A and B are shown apart, each in its own frame.
Chain A
Amino acid sequence: MTTTVEVLGFARGPDWLPWAVQYFFLIGVSCAAFFLSLPGLVWRLPSWRTLSRLALLAALISGLTAPVALMADLHQPGRFINFYLHPNFGSWMAWGSFFIPLYVGSLLLYAWLCLRPTLLRLAQRAGRLAVVYQRVSYGGHDNRQAIGLAALAASLGAMLLLLYTGMETMVVSARVLWNSPLVPLLFLSTACVGGLGMTLLVAALAGRRDVAPALNRGLALALAATFILLAAWFAGALSGQASAAAKALTALALSRVWATTGVWFLGTAAFTLWLAVRSPQSLWSTALLALHGAWLLRWIVFIGGQSIPRMGSTWFDYSLGIGPDGLLGIAGSLGLALFLYVVLTGLIPWDERAEA
């Protein structure tokens, strides 16, 4: 048997940094949370009213943070203008640059239309911001038709975003872990996990345990779908039917770091599923575990996927730095999400009990 030792070569570090993980995580969370807002706010199902308002808050927080994380990955954010001056429509990323403003713009419009009556009620209370609320409410009408149209545009944007983020990753045949038709579906199912997790978190912060059973039920379904997709990926890899997946699995299994991370992901996801089924009243624990799972899958796909050598034998030994391209970037984007949560909940009562 021939053995080979690479005595001189070099490994390139990942060029999609934790910023990219943050973007793919937050935009997926936002899209999924937005869809949870539809039953209560568009179709006006009474049992969904509270849950949908909280989901809208979750969608806004993550949807407004995500593009910032993406622009930070461009090294010079002003460069984004070239996406619109010179689009190459043969690239999924180019399409994404149009889907993002479509979604974020229509999400903001939809949120504003939904909140106009609330803003008017706030204006009617005497306060320092009464004039501002009055102006922003713009009459305070509850225009169901306009809400429906804005929701339709945001739904289209969200579906296109979920499609492009998956496809953009899947088409890269040079990365064996990415090059699987199951990747877009896994991003979709884990976006649902993350969206439900973020809504659970917002509900936990608002103390609304009454919405927990419905959200945990959805979380269990999303996790079950994720496990089915993962089982299909493993089956394809182990049988050799999916050659890229087989190569990726072989490579990752030989890496102690990534094999451990993968086992940790599977273990915590299974525990989250068990908890969501066994303890439907859970808020904080399932919220944090769901967000952890959705984020970790993207971390494994992007950072792990870039660590597998394409040429030669040298792995890139990634370690998370504390600078802007590492921990500070992750903390910064989560800090922005926290800031948005504080501002939005400080200005607008999202919990109907508080509004009353």
Chain B
Amino acid sequence: MKNIGSFIAVFLYSGLIFIPLFLALNRLIMVTGFYPSIWFNSLENNYISQDILQFTLFQAIFSTIVTLMIGIPIAWMLGRYRWPLESLIRTVLTLPFVIPSIIAAMGILTIIGPHGINIRADEDTWWWTLIIAHAWFNMALVIRFCEPILTTLDPSLEEQLRLLPNGQTRISRFRYLWAPLLVPSITAAACMTFVFSFTSFALVRWITVGNESLESMMATISSSAGIEGYMEFTSEMVLGASIIQFLILLISLWITSIIQRNRKSKIPQVNTKFVKTKNSMGWLIIVPALIFALLPIISVFLGSFRIREPVENEIIFRWSFDAWVVAWRGSNSFPPLTDALINSIGYAIITLCVSLPIGFSLASTISKLEENHKFLSQVLDVFTMLPFALSAAMVGLGVLLGIIKLDIGFLHNFWPLPALAHIMLTVPFVVRIFLPAIRSLDPMYDENAKVLGLKPWKRFFSVKLPLLKSSLIISTIFTLAMSLGEFGASFVVARNSDWVTLPLLIDSWRSKPMKDPFTGPASNVVATVLMLITIILFLFAERYRTNKEGGMF
């Protein structure tokens, strides 16, 4: 009875995560037969997916390199020097990571598209634009992984090194102190950047013209996969792509996890930050970085008011609220913005109500098992991390092929179904947010509450939960933001026009022919609404973030 909560959480989690995926895999194998060589051949030979692995890998590797080149100098400047309005600068520079990728895509598209600087038509340009877009999205990761170490490292380490023969120049200090300390954080950030770039969907879909990544290809062909006797090659391609993607993501996450584990507690930190100096030359990095971070966000906002108007043979632009009115009312093809907003909020609330208790219970169970059952705790720990190796499209496919096609009549009209994909994607993040907080909770607090005679529920609500307030708020906000901005899985799952969410509405508006003057602006309106909600949530979460070791959260 004592561990019933843990059992329920593990049981529910297993069911929610693995049953849809198992059913999807089962359906795909039923359609194609168990011939792995055919799956990979199909992926290699089909014209849709030729060179797709090469493109996905190269863009992810280049994106990682460029992200590090942009992110490391910014992290160094933020960590080592003093800036006026420092927390505001940090917030702006880390903001891109929480902005849903579909909004980033819209912002960048507004800049490079035909009504911006118009460079999207050239293949070389869109390749580099995609790389820079991934760098924009992921530079916050490098900052978040590296900056806390730079800020909180015990200053006596550098002071001591300055007095030694090998520490008398900046270069030697960098070589003997900073580089060895930063390499693990940089590698962890690089791995995560690689994972996010490898599975990028919205940015690939909207920035490149014609190129597909494994992720975007799977999302695009998902509707025809898993049907017996109909375009069976799509099922083979989905199987081949999923397996390759799963293995590559698993290896990347495994490396990240090893680095993170070894990094912990090896760096002597001080609780109080050292006295930073000013660096006037550093503005040469900080100002362009701020412009870089804000440009796509501002473009989305301004783009929602900028309406194209053909006047005789010329195209002029006027500023008005017309696109807001159009998006608010909807059209014959698209629902009003309010419908998508209600759907998005509804899915986010369902996701929160399920993910938070399950994630919290799983984190508590892992922490409890660590006391006496080390091996079991490690098994559960890895088990909860496995979904990180599943991309949004793979999760979406799991729900679509595993659940919806089970009973197409009923489940096709089952409104809450997209939330299932959101739950699958958010639970692992909730576990990762809660776990370090639960681990660091002093057991004396609970013991003392016990000797004061407090019953378990009273201890939970009066002592444990308030002590975990920061993690609770951050995981709540993160879950809401992730669900609200989720695009890849929803794109695959939402087979009913009543299930349209804000990211799907953005995508739908943008998919309209450009001859309609509201195509771009209306998509920017929806993107602005989603962006404002996300920014408000992010600013609220920032007040409670206390991670000194560095990491995604």
**A and B held together in a complex:** no
